C-alpha cells in the first residue's frame, strides 16, 4: 500500500465519521447545490488541478480506448449529479477517468416539485425526483463552447420535461438538442441518450421497440460525430429489455448504460420506513444493484460483441466496480457512492483495481470484462 493510498483512505475515514454526519444534517438538495458550486470553484484553481495530477492513479492495466476515446481509468461520474455542467474540470482531481454532464434538454426546466432529492441512509440509496432539472442546451453551449477537458466528458441529452408534448414532438425536441450540440462543436467526447428517466411529465416514452426505433432513426440521421450510448431502464422485464436491445443493435450506437433509477420500492434492501418519507421519484444506490448487475450480464451475453456496456448502480467500493466489470461492463459509473463514501472514492477504487485484476491473473482490465456474465441469470 502506497503513501498516497494511505492518505486517501484516511481522508475517506474522516469523511464518513466526521464530515458526512454534518452534511447529512442539511437538506439533501441544498447541500448538493452548495457542494457542486464549491467543486466548480476548485476546478478553476490551477494549483488544485496540478495537485490532482499528482494524486492521479496512472496504471496501464486500467487504460482503454473505446470507440476512439481513451479512458485512463474506468470510473466515471454518472449523469444526474452535474446537471448544470459545473464539474468537468474538478472530476480528474478526485480520480475520475470520465464523466457525464446533464441530462440536458432542448429547453430549460426548473425541476419537479420538491422534495427532489432525499437520503435513505440505512437503505444506502437516494430518492431522486429532479425530472431533468437543467438550464437547457443553449446555456450549456454558452458555458462550454470554448472549454477544454482533461478527461473524456460526455453529454447526456433527453426530452424537455413538459406536460403537453406528443411522441413526435418529443422526438423533434431531442433531435433539436443534438443538432444544437453538434453545430456548436462542443468539446464533449461522447453522448448519452437518456430514454429512461422515470420522473418525467406526460405519457411519452421510448420503451416499446417501435417508439425507440423512431427515436434512433431520427437521432442517427444526424450523423453525429461522437459515440452515442443509450441510458437504459432497469425496471423493465428481461423480455422488454431484450426487445429494446434488438432495436439498438440495428443502429450505429456505441453502447448502453445499465442503468437508470429503480422504480420498485418493495425490495428487501429498501427500508420501508425510510422510503415513505419520499413518496415520489426513483431510487439510486443499492436499490439498483441487483437489477443493474443482472442486465449488464444479460446484455453482455447477448450483445457484448456489438455493444460496449457501461455499468451504473450501487457502486460503493472497488469490489463493487470490479463485480460490474466481470459481469460485462467496460466502464463503470457512480453517484450515490460519492455521497455515502466521500469524494475520494474514485481514487480508492482505482488504487485497488490493479491488485484485484492481478489477483485473478489478468494483465489488463479488458481481460476481465464479462468473465462472470454466464454466472448471473436475470429472474
Distance CA 93, CA 10 (A): 17
Predicted TM-score of the model (pTM): 0.92
User: For position 273, what pLDDT does the model report?
Assistant: 78
User: For position 2, what pLDDT does the model report?
Assistant: 64
Q: Is 308 helix (H, G, I), strand (E, B) or coil?
A: strand
- In the beta sheet, which residues pair with residue 309? 256
Scanning 147-208, the segments in alpha helix (DSSP H) are 167-183
User: For position 55, what pLDDT does the model report?
Assistant: 66
Spell out the residues 6+ positions from residue 236 whose beta carbon is closer than 8 angstroms to its own.
207, 244
Residue where the block lists cell 413518496: 279
User: For position 1, what pLDDT does the model report?
Assistant: 56
Q: Which CATH class is domain 3-373?
A: alpha beta
User: For position 113, what pLDDT does the model report?
Assistant: 82
Return the C-alpha cell found at 235.
Answer: 425496471
Q: Judge contact between 297 and 376, C-beta under 8 A.
A: yes
- E strand residue ranges, the chain: 64-66, 69-71, 75-77, 98-104, 117-120, 125-128, 153-157, 190-194, 228-232, 255-258, 282-283, 308-312, 331-334
Return the C-alpha cell found at 80.
Answer: 444526474
Return the C-alpha cell found at 120.
Answer: 435513505
Distance CA 79, CA 192 (A): 9
Side-chain-side CA neighbours of residue 295 (13 Å) = 31
User: Got the DSSP string for 324-346?
Assistant: HHHHT-SEEEESHHHHHH-TTHH
Per-residue pLDDT of the chain (379 residues; tens, 9 = 90+): 566 777 888 878 888 988 999 989 888 888 899 999 998 888 888 877 776 666 677 889 999 999 999 999 999 999 999 999 999 999 999 999 999 998 999 999 887 788 888 899 888 999 888 888 899 999 999 999 888 999 999 999 999 987 778 888 889 999 999 999 999 989 999 999 998 666 566 677 888 899 999 999 999 999 999 999 999 999 899 999 999 999 999 999 999 999 888 888 777 778 887 777 888 888 999 999 999 999 999 999 999 889 999 999 999 999 999 999 999 999 999 999 999 999 999 999 999 999 999 999 999 999 999 999 988 765 5
| Phi then psi dihedrals of residue 318, to 5 deg | -65, -40
User: For position 201, what pLDDT does the model report?
Assistant: 66
From the list 181, 247, 252, 187, the residue with the least C-alpha distance to 221 is: 252
User: For position 47, what pLDDT does the model report?
Assistant: 79
What residues does each domain of the chain span?
3-373
Torsion of CA 255, 260, 264, 270, to 10 degrees: 120
Amino acid at each position: 500500500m502506497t503513501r498516497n493510498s494511505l492518505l486517501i483512505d484516511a481522508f475517506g475515514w474522516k469523511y464518513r465519521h466526521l464530515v458526512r454526519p454534518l452534511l447529512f444534517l442539511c437538506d439533501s438538495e441544498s447541500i448538493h447545490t452548495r457542494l457542486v458550486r464549491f467543486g466548480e470553484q476548485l476546478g478553476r484553481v490551477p494549483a488544485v488541478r496540478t495537485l490532482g495530477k499528482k494524486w492521479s492513479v496512472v496504471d496501464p492495466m486500467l487504460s482503454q480506448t473505446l470507440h476512439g476515446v481513451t479512458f485512463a481509468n474506468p470510473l466515471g461520474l454518472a449523469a444526474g449529479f452535474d446537471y448544470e455542467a459545473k464539474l468537468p474540470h474538478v472530476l480528474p482531481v478526485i480520480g475520475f477517468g470520465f464523466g457525464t454532464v446533464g441530462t440536458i434538454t432542448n429547453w430549460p426546466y426548473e425541476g419537479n416539485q420538491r422534495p427532489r432529492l432525499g437520503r435513505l441512509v440505512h437503505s444506502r440509496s437516494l430518492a431522486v425526483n429532479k425530472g431533468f432539472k437543467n438550464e437547457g442546451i443553449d446555456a450549456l453551449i454558452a458555458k462550454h463552447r470554448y472549454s477544454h477537458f482533461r478527461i473524456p466528458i460526455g453529454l447526456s441529452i433527453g426530452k424537455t420535461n413538459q406536460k403537453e408534448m406528443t411522441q413526435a414532438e418529443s422526438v423533434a425536441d431531442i433531435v433539436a438538442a443534438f443538432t444544437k450540440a453538434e453545430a456548436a462543436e462542443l468539446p464533449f467526447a461522447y453522448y448519452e441518450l437518456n430514454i429512461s428517466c422515470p420522473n418525467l411529465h406526460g405519457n411519452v416514452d421510448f420503451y416499446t421497440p417501435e417508439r425507440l426505433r423512431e427515436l434512433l432513426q431520427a437521432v442517427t440521421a444526424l450523423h453525429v460525430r461522437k459515440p452515442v450510448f443509450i441510458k437504459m431502464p432497469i425496471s423493465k422485464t428481461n423480455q422488454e429489455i431484450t426487445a429494446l436491445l434488438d432495436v439498438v443493435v440495428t443502429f450505429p450506437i456505441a453502447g448502453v448504460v445499465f442503468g437508470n433509477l429503480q422504480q420498485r420500492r418493495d425490495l428487501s434492501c429498501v427500508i420501508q420506513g425510510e422510503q415513505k418519507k419520499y413518496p415520489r421519484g426513483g431510487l439510486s444506490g443499492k436499490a439498483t444493484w441487483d437489477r443493474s448487475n443482472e442486465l449488464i450480464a444479460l446484455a453482455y451475453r447477448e450483445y457484448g460483441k456489438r455493444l460496449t456496456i457501461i455499468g451504473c448502480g450501487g457502486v460503493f467500493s472497488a469490489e463493487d466496480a470490479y463485480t460490474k466489470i466481470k459481469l460485462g461492463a467496460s466502464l463503470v459509473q457512480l453517484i450515490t457512492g460519492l455521497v455515502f463514501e466521500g469524494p475520494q472514492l474514485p481514487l480508492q477504487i482505482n488504487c485497488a483495481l490493479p491488485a484485484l485484476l492481478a489477483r485473478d491473473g489478468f494483465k489488463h482490465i479488458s481481460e476481465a470484462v464479462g468473465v462472470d456474465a454466464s454466472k448471473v441469470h436475470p429472474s
